Each structure stands twice: as structure tokens, then as C-alpha cells.
Amino acid sequence: MKILLVGAGGVGGAFTSIATRRDFYEAIVIADYDLARAEKAAAVDDRFSPAQIDASSADSVTALCREHGITHVMNAVDPIFNMPIFQGAFAAGADYLDMAMSLSKPHPEAPHEKCGVKLGDEQFAAAETWEQAGRLALVGIGVEPGLSDVFARYAADHLFSEIDELGTRDGANLVVTDDDGNEIFAPSFSMWTTIEECLNPPVIWAGDGSGAGDWHTTAPFSEPEVFNFPEGIGPVECVNVEHEEVLLMPRWIDCKRATFKYGLGDEFINILKVLHTLGLDRTEKVLVKGVEVSPRDVVAAVLPDPATVGPRMKGKTCAGVWVTGIGKDEAGNPTGPRSTYLYHVVDNEETMTQYGHQCVVWQTAINPVIALELLATGVWEGAGVLGPEAFDAVPFLDLLTAYGSPWGIQEPAV
């Protein structure tokens, strides 16, 4: 296996720190628009080599794949670049993985009721082409989406006979401080992506539990609820946010409802609302003193780089899926109502000490490394455009534990 890692930022850097401890691949080419950043990331392992890439150009991706004999393209950049990387990998005959799917477009007339272009629609439109070519595009294999989807597959196969709701819940008690110890606003993940998913209309799946159903939208930050997160994080108010799990899980798992709620907090929600009011969430370029700039790019540029906040961050982050429905015993017989939260908690102090990367990007990066190892060893295999739910969850969760980062179950969920 020869991997092209596109992006040497926070998640890309964490990916390399995890991958350097594994031996399932022959080589990794670390490519970034900033060659110096790629060179820094590649310096830690003789199997790594740096390269410069234009992630907005499918031809650039294809050329780099062909130059290095790449078998798998790992996309670790903002999802605005998904389609050229996705298309470039296919043209080169390589398999493809990402941690967020192609972008959505709100419905022009009823954005808070009806779906327009959904997350992943562009990629799923090419599913038959990928399948006929015998190539695999494994989409949404970060932590959320990704690990939460693996949890959903495990719950459907081993814990539940009927599922009412697959509710992804993400919360943390992370705090970032300045040099004087004062708490500051510093997002722990890409601000560009955070704006995209938090200000777009959230999507909800409503079905009959047998595969039939459809998606609809609601207003951003709707349906607030307090969820009690495990391992000392405690109660966090969570709200509806647009996210890929809702678009992925119902394609492979029968459920009556699928949701994604994120613990943002009042301060973060207010900041996002102000950005939207001022038009600073826009991606369309505007002319400023003779220079064209994207307002969202400017916001992302002036905030601290998520890859650098780790030394000033304390706390834990939790990702997981809250499943409700009818449980089952080991023989598959229904056992009655069940409410279970399958989760993964990561402590920032531990990831900084052991890997040198903050917990949010590290928790995102470990999952594609595990997926690539399962693909390399033939434990996971497939063709087409597939989500994590399309594969057996047990080998993934066993390997997650073997990597030294065990998962847990909280029951009852809250």
C-alpha cells in the first residue's frame, strides 16, 4: 500500500504521528500546498516523503498519484476540495478516503424544511462508476463522521433488534487559555469547516424502521437538549448541526430517526450567528482594496491554527452515538426497550504527551489510519462509494483498542 496524504495541517500531522508507529504500508507521500509544512511532517519517518500539491486541481492529484504509484489517496483537507481530490484519485486508478463528504447546498425556497443538494450527493452520484471500475471510495471515515458510524453498525449488529433513533452526540469540556491563563476563543477544529456545518440547515432522517424514509431540514441550533457525557465531561447542551452521519447511517442501517447534535455552547453559537449576520461566513470572494478575498477564509486565518492550540488546551473530547430502540440478547432475541451510548473519549493531556497533537485532531486522525490498515490486510474490502457502516464494525473496534485508545458503552445512555 502506497498512500498519498493530501494535507499536512492539524489532522494530517496527527495522521502521520499515528501512522509512523504502524507497518501495514510501504510508503506515504505527504502533500500540501505549503511544501515546508509537508517537509516538516515527512521528516519523522524514512517511509514518508514530501510533495507540493494543488488540492483544487484533479489533474494535480492524478499526476502525483501516477508519479509515486499511489494505491490509496487520503484526503485530510477542508471538504471544499473533496471533489477534485476524489476525481483525481479515480483518474489515477487509486482508492480514496476522506473524513467529510462533498458539500451541500441549501434548498433555494425552503432551506429549513427541505433538502437541497445533500452532503455527499456529488460523491454518491459517482458510486456506480467507482463500483464498475472496482475502486473504493470510503467516505466519512474520521471520528464524526467515521467512528460514530462504526458504533452505529456495531449497535445494529450486536445490541439492537429494532432501532428507533441513531443520535450522534458530540461534546467536550475543553478549555484553551492564553499565556496569562485566561480562557480564550480558539476552535479546536477547522473554523472553515465548523462554519460550514453549523450555519447550514441541519438534516434529520425520518423513516419507518424498515429502510423507507427521507431526509428533511430544520433551523440551525434547533432542538436543544442536555446530554450527560461520560468520563467526567458531564452535562452539555447539544443542538442540531448539519453532519454526514445523518446522510450515511440510514443508507445501511434501518432506523426511524437519525440526528446529529453538537455541544457548541452559548458563546460559540453567538459568535457563529454574528459571523452570519455580518456576512463573514460567506465563501464568495469580495474585493478589498484591490484584492479578492473570501470572508470565511479571513475569519479562519485570523484565529489560532487548531494544530497549535494543544499546549494551551485542557480537558477531554467525546464522540459517540446514542441508540434507542429494542435490544436483543446474544441469540438475537428481542429483550425490551434499550438506550445505549457507544462512545470514545480522548484526553488532551494524553495525546499531547504521547503524540504531540491536540485531542480533537488526533481523535479524528486515528480512524482513517485504522481503516487503511483494515484495507491493507484485506479485513475490509469493497467497491463503490461506501460509508463506514458498510463494513464489519468488530475488527475496527478491536484495532482501535489495540492502538491504545479503547471505546466504551454508557447504559442507560443518559
Contacts 24+ apart (CB under 8 A), 114-117: 114/216, 114/217, 115/203, 115/215, 115/216, 115/217
What pLDDT is stored for residue 306 in this prediction? 73
What pLDDT is stored for residue 264 in this prediction? 80
Nearest to 323 by CA among 273, 240, 398, 259: 259
DSSP 54: -
Contact, 281 vs 296, CB < 8 A?
yes
Residues of the chain with CATH 3.30.360.10: 147-362
| Cell reading at 177 | 487559555
CATH superfamily of 147-362: Dihydrodipicolinate Reductase; domain 2 (3.30.360.10)
- Per DSSP, which regions of 139-184 are E strands? 160-172, 175-176
pTM of the model: 0.92
What pLDDT is stored for residue 88 in this prediction? 98
What pLDDT is stored for residue 25 in this prediction? 98
Nearest to 123 by CA among 153, 167, 79: 79
Task: Report residues of the chain scoring pLDDT below 50.
Answer: none
How far apart CA 359 and CA 374 sit, in angstroms, is 23
DSSP string computed for 198-229: HHSPPEEEEE-SSS-EEEEE--TT-S-EEEEE
CATH class of 2-138: alpha beta
DSSP 147: H
Residues of the chain with CATH 3.40.50.720: 2-138
What pLDDT is stored for residue 207 in this prediction? 92
Nearest to 201 by CA among 276, 106, 281: 106
Contact, 257 vs 204, CB < 8 A?
yes
Nearest to 168 by CA among 321, 317, 319, 318: 321
Sheet containing strand 95-97, strands side by side: 48-52, 27-32, 2-6, 72-75, 95-97, 136-138, 384-386
Residues 183-240 pLDDT 10s: 777 676 677 778 887 888 999 999 998 889 999 999 999 999 999 999 999 999 999 9
| Amino acid sitting at position 43 | A
What pLDDT is stored for residue 186 in this prediction? 66
